[in-house]
Copies of this chain bind each other. A is one copy, B any other.
């Protein structure tokens, strides 16, 4: 097995947003809380045992002042403590990478969680009627129930990958692209200058896992987004995105009939169970990925 301290996760920051003075990093925090066993089991985000007094108070102000647009994002009291810590440290000049290491330390995590960049990247979604939404407005407020005409990663062009992320992606024995949303979760990571090139240069050791199984996203709007953007909402569509910089793509047995089509777009299909519904299945998938790189 792999020691947690030997594992680094390079994480999307395009979901980050400013709420009421605080910088909220949903991807980083959800990973931290989940790996620490502290995530709210009912929601899959936020903290177990959460209370909502601050949000209730904020919403009371919003109601009294007829601002229905304020307070739609659910910030729990315990979660707010994390955001207050992050705001405090960022105001002191700490890098997001440092603050993230501190938060994972609080939760006793062994692995390193590395924001792909310390620069602000903000995923923006434009709808067919021309409205531009922040990622959280799209994902949480609109429950990703709107069509999307385009997605852009504001700030990505000028962002620099962190030294830590650069070294991790350069020196790791293997790079696994998790079964995340290729457009809005993996996309902002790849959009940081140097990241895609870095993966391409070590393509033989990069293995991706398809988040699309049987034509549907395991969760979230990956399939609808890919369709909206004119891509195929299947393992083949995922393969087209990843082929330039990944050697192999793990596809679920339910998609075994598409293995040939995946191979034809230039990435090696690995047919293996890919649904991480138990820790054992997750560990097995990790082993498949590690075995799937060229050695």
Q: Which residues of A contact B (CB under 8 A)?
A: 18-23, 50-51, 53-62, 64-65, 70, 75-85, 87-88, 90-91, 102-103, 105-106
Contacts and interface: CB of A to CB of B under 8 A. Distances in A.
A23 B81 CA distance: 16
Given A64-B106, A102-B65, A84 B20 contact: yes
Nearest to A56: B81
B87 A60 contact: no
A22 B79 CA distance: 16
Contacts of A83: 21
A103 B50 CA distance: 26
A110 to B, nearest CB: 14
B70 A85 contact: yes
Contacts of A57: 77-82, 84-85
A292 to B, nearest CB: 36
Given A20-B85, A20-B87, A91-B18, A102 B54 contact: no
Which of A53, A62, A82 has most B Cβ within 10 Å? A53
B103 A81 contact: no
A88 B103 CA distance: 24
Given A60-B106, A61-B82, A85-B61, A91 B53 contact: no
A77 to B, nearest CB: 4
Which of A50, A62, A80 has most B Cβ within 10 Å? A80
15 contacts: A19-B84, A19-B88, A20-B88, A21-B87, A54-B54, A54-B78, A56-B78, A56-B81, A57-B78, A57-B81, A57-B82, A58-B84, A59-B81, A60-B106, A65-B105
Contacts of A80: 53-54, 57, 77, 80
B20 A61 contact: no
Contacts of A21: 21-23, 83-84, 87-88, 90-91
Given A19-B84, A21-B23, A70-B88, 20 more contacts: A19-B88, A20-B84, A20-B91, A21-B21, A21-B22, A22-B84, A51-B53, A54-B54, A55-B81, A56-B81, A57-B80, A57-B81, A58-B85, A58-B88, A61-B81, A61-B82, A61-B103, A64-B105, A75-B84, A77-B77
